[in-house]
Amino acid sequence: MALVFRTVAQLAGVSLSLLGWVLSCLTNYLPHWKNLNLDLNEMENWTMGLWQACVIQEEVGMQCKDFDSFLALPAELRVSRILMFLSNGLGFLGLLVSGFGLDCLRIGESQRDLKRRLLILGGILSWVSGITALVPVSWVAHKTIQEFWDENVPDFVPRWEFGEALFLGWFAGLSLLLGGCLLNCAACSSHAPLASGHYAVAQTQDHHQQLETRNTNLKN
């Protein structure tokens, strides 16, 4: 039963980590962190991401323009760029490390302690990747709520609202956190038994060591 749990936890952890990493990459580059609907012109919508702002018109379609200056951006967007890049890099590294620690991978099968450490490290990297994805998304959402309910802004001025990328980023961060938890749970569970070939080799080596010990005792 423990072996089944370990295998399922490993596969589920890697799958969730992979899903979270892909979604975090999409969140980083999608220009839908904020949406702005104009009451005066319902046929025109504005969207904003970390890298560009876009206008969507029914007749023309979507037209986007990259931000000219990094320093001219608001603080939450500047920090979000850095954290999302960090999340994408750590998520990829966590997948790579934890992949080598899976029991189904025959490479280094006899080195159980090393594979266990790789699983733990991969789980920690997934955790950190999830946190660095949740922080910028939540910060931008918090700033959007503050600006939306700002009483100093007149009522007729259009206000930014949540974009689809924020929800995608929350789901990505939670997937990475859950995937990291499963990988660490799998690493802390009991190890899978050695394959038959390795077991036979281990038995042969023990038999040879016993024979050498007996011969040494007889000579003495």
C-alpha distances out from residue 13 to 17, 59, 94, 120, 143, Å? 6, 45, 11, 11, 32
88: pLDDT strictly greater than 50: yes
Torsion of CA 137, 141, 143, 145, to 10 degrees: 180
Highest mean pLDDT pick, 96-105, 148-157, 191-200: 96-105
pLDDT of 159 reads 87
Strands laid side by side in the 34-37 sheet:
61-66, 52-57, 44-48, 34-37, 161-162
pLDDT band with cut points at 50, 70 and 90 for residue 133: very high
Looking at per-residue pLDDT, the higher value among 215 and 116 belongs to 116
**What residue segments make up the domains of the chain, in order of their start?**
1-218
pLDDT of 197 reads 41
Mean pLDDT of 193-214: 49
192: pLDDT strictly greater than 60: no
Provide, rounded to the nearest whole percent, the portion of the chain with pLDDT above 70. 80
- Could you give the CA distance from residue 175 to residue 5 in angstroms, rounded to a whole number? 19
C-alpha distances out from residue 78 to 66, 73, 132, 159, 176, Å? 14, 6, 14, 21, 23
Mean pLDDT of 17-30: 96
The CATH number of the domain covering residues in 1-218: 1.20.140.150
Residue with tokens 């919508």: 45
pLDDT of 171 reads 97
Residue with tokens 């040494």: 216
Give yes or no for a contact between 180 and 124, defined as CB atoms under 8 angstroms apart. Answer: yes
Query: What DSSP string runs through 108-175?
Result: TTT-HHHHHHHHHHHHHHHHHHHHHHHHHHHHHHHHHHHHHT-TTS-TTS---EE-HHHHHHHHHHHH
pLDDT in tens, 47-87: 999 999 999 887 778 899 999 889 989 999 999 999 999 99
196: pLDDT strictly greater than 70: no
pLDDT of 103 reads 79
Query: 0.85 exceeded by the pTM?
Result: no
For residue 83, the tally of other CB atoms under 10 A from its CB is 19
C-alpha distances out from residue 140 to 30, 49, 109, Å? 14, 10, 45
Mean of per-residue pLDDT scores for the chain: 84
pLDDT band with cut points at 50, 70 and 90 for residue 156: confident
